[in-house]
Amino acid sequence: MKELDRLQLMTRIAERRLTRRRAAGLLNMSERQVRRLYRAFVRDGAAGLGSRRRGRPSPRRLPAATQERALALLRERYADFGPTFAHQKLTEEHDLTLSVETLRAWMIAADVWVPRVQRARRSYQPRERRACRGELIQIDGSDHKWFEDRGPGCTLLVYIDDATSEIMELCFADVESTFDYFHATRRYLERHGKPMAFYSDRHSIFHVQARDRAQGGSGLSQFGRALRDLNIDSICANSPQAKGRVERANGTLQDRLVKELRLQGISSPAEAEPFLPVFMADHNCRFATPARVAHDAHRALHPDEDLTQIFTLQESRLITAKLTVNYKRGLYLLEDTVENRRLRRTSALVSEAADGTVTIRGNGRVLPYRLHPRDQAVLVPGVVVAHEHLDGAFAWIAAQQRERDAARLANPKITLRAKQRIRTAAAPL
């Protein structure tokens, strides 16, 4: 385009329709350079305006031997490496000095590496539905503005039967947490019985990456441990596409349920609880499909399966020689009895319920305890607090800050302006 503009202007100069000074201003160059271009145009025509370097190799071009060596090393040792990683190895291991973009261009031209945008997209083959109801239940949490601007944002826990696409359970929660899934799963089991397996994503609630941090070193999360105690399998999907039924249901719910809640004038999870069974029944009547096999795979709960105990956070702790148990920065003192003395240096099972109640079991029985008074009190700044106790920590912090503000306001030496700043800062937003 630049050379075409020059040709047009030189033609106008030759036709005496444009001055060289005006052309210099349009081309953003000196008048002397315009005269040189015009002489070349008169002498060689349009070819005189082209760059003489066109078709010549760049003086900064790397030698062909360097390119051949780099490509040979890539094919021999780094065939599956990307340009950035390959550039790092060629620079550190083989002392080849070149840029990443140059190496990328060489790799693309030599078909050693294919850019991501040019790769064939992976296709996911459709999976057949399970044969009968209760065989596989897909679960997921959908974070959305369910009540629009009428209420707070929250998460909807969704349970979908794989065989029928039937919504088995809906439950609102502030966030996806272990106790929320405990609550929703317990409601599911009490209503339908035990399915064969739950199908979820790789959220930390369902899947543990580091085995050394898992519950008891078993590789199970707290939710997975609870399902194992109930003889229910837990399956984690490798991709969202694998659990497409619940993902598609989330999209439907974000459209239809939001509008239904608006029509009903519901603006909070508490108000929505009585309406959810009505919505599920209507949705299943419209969209659920019959299973290929009429058999229902749900199993009844056994009398010895205590859901209250199973759906708790459980950790194994050592009973010390002093009949004490350490759990979450708390020191629990067991009763000094003959039976408890036999449990010294053995393992105890510590269970924590959603309300914070702690139960200690040893040798199949509940062990009475009292909490050491020194660990009931002060929150030390900088100490790590577990997320399930964060609300309590903030309540303690707020109380401490109010006490400090009250003490400063009671100081007779403080100025009126300083008191006003304290009151303004303490006022709710």
Strands of 68-193 (E only): list them.
Answer: 137-144, 154-161, 167-173
Residues in the chain, overall count: 429
User: 108 and 78 in one domain?
Assistant: yes
How do residues 298-334 score in pLDDT, each as one tens digit? 999 998 899 999 999 999 999 999 999 999 888 899 9
Backbone angles phi, psi at 318, to 5 degrees: -85, 135
Q: Which domain holds residue 85?
A: 64-118
Instruction: Say yes or no: 166 and 240 in one domain.
Output: yes
* Shared-domain flag, residues 265 and 170: yes
Query: Same structural domain for residues 100 and 149?
Result: no
* Contact status, residue 26 vs residue 7, Cβ threshold 8 Å: no
Taking the C-alpha atoms of residue 156 and residue 290, their distance in angstroms, rounded to an integer, is: 25
Average pLDDT along the chain, 429 residues, taken 10 residues at a time: 73 83 84 84 76 70 86 89 90 89 91 85 74 92 92 92 94 92 95 93 83 57 92 85 84 92 92 94 93 92 92 93 89 90 92 92 90 59 58 74 82 78 68
Instruction: Identify any residues that bridge with 389 across adjacent strands, giving them in sequence order.
Output: none
DSSP, collapsed to helix, strand or coil, labels residue 211 as helix
Distance CA 219, CA 208 (A): 6
pLDDT on residue 124 = 62
- For residue 44, the model assigns a pLDDT of 77
- CATH number of domain containing 145: 3.30.420.10
Same domain, residue pair 141 and 188: yes
For residue range 258-295, list pLDDT tens digits in order. 999 999 999 999 999 999 999 999 999 999 999 999 99
Is residue 294 in a domain? no
Could you count the other beta carbons within 10 Å of the beta carbon of residue 206? 23
Cα–Cα distance, 241 to 262 (Å, whole number):
30
pLDDT of residue 51: 67
Q: What is the pLDDT of residue 379?
A: 57
Residue 54 covered by a domain: no
Tally of domains in the chain: 5
Q: Is residue 218 part of a domain?
A: yes
pLDDT of 359: 93
pTM across the whole model: 0.62
276 and 156 fall within a common domain: yes
Write out the two tokens for 207: 């899947």
User: Is residue 297 domain-resident?
Assistant: no
* Numbers of helices and strands, H then E, in the chain: 15, 12
Residue 363 CA to residue 56 CA, distance in Å, equals: 87
